[in-house]
Amino acid sequence: MSEAAWLPGSVFDNIDKFASSLGYQNAAIAMELSMVSWKSPEERDAFIMAITGEDVKGGTEKNYIKNFGG
C-alpha cells in the first residue's frame, strides 16, 4: 500500500498556508478560505500576501517553492 503524499495546491496545503499566514486563532477563517477553488497556488499566495501584507508563511522549502513571475 502506497503512502499518501503531500500535494502543493491541495486543500491541506491551502490550510497550512492560510493558518500559518493568518494565525491559528483564525483557524475557522483559514479553513473556509482553504476550501475556495483557487486556480493555482500562486493565485492563492497572491491573495494571502494581499490581505496580510507579508510573505506567505507555512510549508517547507522542499515542498514549497515560490514561483512568482517565473
CA–CA separation, 57 and 5 (whole Å): 20
**What is the smallest separation between the CB atom of 55 and other proteins, expressed in angstroms?**
13
Q: Does 24 interact with other proteins (rule: CB under 8 A)?
A: yes
Draw the binding track, 49-68, toward other proteins (x: CB under 8 A; -: no contact): --------xxxx-xxx----
Q: Is the dihedral of CA 28, 34, 35, 37 positive or negative?
A: positive
CA–CA separation, 60 and 38 (whole Å): 20
Q: Does 28 interact with other proteins (rule: CB under 8 A)?
A: yes
Binding residues for other proteins, rule: CB under 8 A, are 3-6, 12, 15-16, 19-20, 24-29, 31, 57-60, 62-64
